Structure 1
Amino acid sequence: MKEFIDYVLQFGNLNQQQIDLISKKATELELRKDDYYLEAGKVSRQFGFIVEGIARVSYYNNKSEEITKYFIDENNIVVDLESFDNEIPSIAYVQAMTNCKIVVFSKRDWQELLNTIVGWDAIVRKIISKALLQKVERISSIVAQDATTSYLTFLEKYPNLANRIPLSYLASYLGITQSSLSRIRKNIR
């Protein structure tokens, strides 16, 4: 919980009473590797923050191929905002790549925090803005480059992820085959 509070305090100030209320509303969720935090077709019912571990966001394209959109690691929020806010089914899967500890808030408790804590909505907007910018950066930095450059960019930006996720998912994220990724890795050693 301390990690989440420290993260939130980067975006605004809270007094001890507000921090205590936030802590009271939070629960800790533990996912084992390969468990799903959210599945496509289901409504996102919780706002989460990864304390420990890595999650993968994926979807299936029109050819029924699984595509990895991006990864979420420690000290980042995990939520399908469109599904959570509008109570509509998600189009994405969020799956634990490693064992994960996630601080979660139910929709009801999250709404109560928004209605109770003065300035919480402004803090949340800043947190969401940062998350959306990171999401765009994760995707756009890979799309416009050749495969080798994309892989090197990934290693540079996310050095702690490369050895913690399966190559098949990393290849999917980079938009290449696993054998192409293996060749690239072999050539840059």
Structure 2
Amino acid sequence: MEKIINYLLHFGSLNDQQISLVKKHATELLLYEGDYFSEAGKVASQVGFILEGVIRVSYYNKDGEDVTRYFIDEDNFVVDLNSFDNRIPSSEYVQAVTDCKFLVFSKKSWENLSLTILGWDAIVAKITPKGLLQKIQRISPLIAEDAATRYRTFLERYPGIANRVALVFIASYLGITPSSLSRIRRNIS
């Protein structure tokens, strides 16, 4: 619980009573590898803060292929913001690619914090652009780069994730086949 409080305090101040309220509204959620945090076609109903594990955001392209857009790891919020805020069906899947532990806020709890904690919206307003910038930076690199360069960029962007996530998901993110990724990894090592 302290991880999320420390994270929030980087973006604003909370007194002891407000911290207690945040803790009261957070519930712990465990997802196993392969489980979904939210799914395409459904309205996102919760905001999560990842305590342990890695999730991936993906979609199915016009050819029916599962494409990984980006990964999110510990000490980050995860939510399909457009779906959550506007109560519209999501177009993406948010899936655990390792066993994950989250602190989760329901839509009602999130709104309650907004109504109860003076300055909550200001904290969220500072977190949101940071998250959006990370999202833009994490979206799969341009296909114009060669595969080896994309993999090196992945390693820079996601230090520590390459050994935790299935190669098939990394290959999907890079826009290459798993066998091509294996070959690149052998040549880089």
Q: Which residue of 1 aligns with 2:15?
A: 15
Counterpart for residue 39 of structure 1: 39
The residue number in structure 1 matching 2:154 is 154
**Secondary structure, aligned partner of 1:88:** coil
CA deviation vs aligned residue, 1:11-64 (integer Å, no higher than 9, x gap): 111111100001001101011111111111111000111000001111001111
- 2:56 matched to 1:56? yes
- Please give the secondary structure, in 2, of the residue aligned with 1:48: strand
1:84 corresponds to: 84
Residue 124 (str. 1) matches residue 130 (str. 2): no
Corresponding position: 1:163 with 2:163: yes
Runs of at least 4 residues off by over 3 Å: none
Paired residue for 2:173? 173
Shift of 1:116: 1.1
Give the RMSD, CA atoms, in angstroms: 1.0
Query: TM (normalized to structure 1)?
Result: 0.97
TM-score normalised by structure 2 residue count: 0.97
Q: How far 1:154 sits from its partner (Å)?
A: 1.1
User: Counterparts of 1:74 and 1:134 in 2: how far apart (Å)?
Assistant: 13
- SS class of match (1:126): helix
Deviation (angstroms), 1:145: 2.6
Deviations 1:129-158 (A, max 9, x none): 111000001126x21532111111111221
Unaligned segments of structure 1, at least 5 residues: none
> What is the CA–CA distance in structure 2 between the aligned matches of 1:102 and 1:21, rounded to whole Å?
17
Tell whether 2:41 aligns with 1:74.
Answer: no
Secondary structure, aligned partner of 1:137: helix
How many residue pairs match? The answer is 188
Give deviations 1:84-127, integer Å, cap 9, x for gaps: 00111111111111111110101011001111111110100111
Q: 1: distance between equivalents of 2:126 and 2:161?
A: 25
What is the CA–CA distance in structure 2 between the aligned matches of 1:96 and 1:89, rounded to whole Å?
20
- Output the CA distance in 1 between the equivalents of 2:156 and 2:81: 28
Question: C-alpha displacement at 1:178, in angstroms?
Answer: 1.0
